[in-house]
């Protein structure tokens, strides 16, 4: 279940960070797609929280790690996306 919390937190923060950069640049279609991905990842996060059965400490460790890696990789993903000039 730790991996589930990690992946859910990673996805949620990754898509939120990427969305922020994309919308700043007025990429409307990409922003709409990001909104759907954020919705799905937030559902996954809520499901993970309610079903993982982890202690608060374990949850914070795994969610924090997933989120911090997610926001970092979203920066690199945006650089890749922006270089393509989509």
**Are 71 and 13 in contact, with CB atoms under 8 Å apart?**
yes
d(Cα 82, Cα 22) in Å, to the nearest integer? 9
Q: Where are the domains of the chain?
A: 2-83
What pTM did the predictor assign?
0.86
pLDDT band at 82 (very low <50, low <70, confident <90, very high): confident
Crossing angle, helix 2-24 and helix 28-51, to 10 degrees?
160
The number of beta carbons lying within 10 Å of the beta carbon of residue 15 is: 24
Mean pLDDT of the chain: 92
**Model confidence over 4-44: pLDDT tens digits?**
999 999 999 999 999 999 999 898 998 999 999 999 999 99
d(Cα 69, Cα 12) in Å, to the nearest integer? 11
């Amino acid at each position: 279940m730790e991996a589930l919390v990690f992946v859910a937190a990673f996805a949620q923060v990754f898509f939120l960070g990427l969305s922020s950069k994309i919308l700043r640049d007025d990429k409307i279609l990409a922003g709409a797609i990001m909104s759907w991905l954020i919705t799905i990842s937030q559902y996954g996060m809520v499901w993970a929280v309610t079903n993982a059965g982890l202690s608060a400490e374990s949850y914070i460790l795994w969610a924090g790690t997933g989120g911090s890696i997610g926001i970092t990789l979203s920066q690199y993903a945006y650089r890749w996306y922006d270089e393509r000039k989509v």
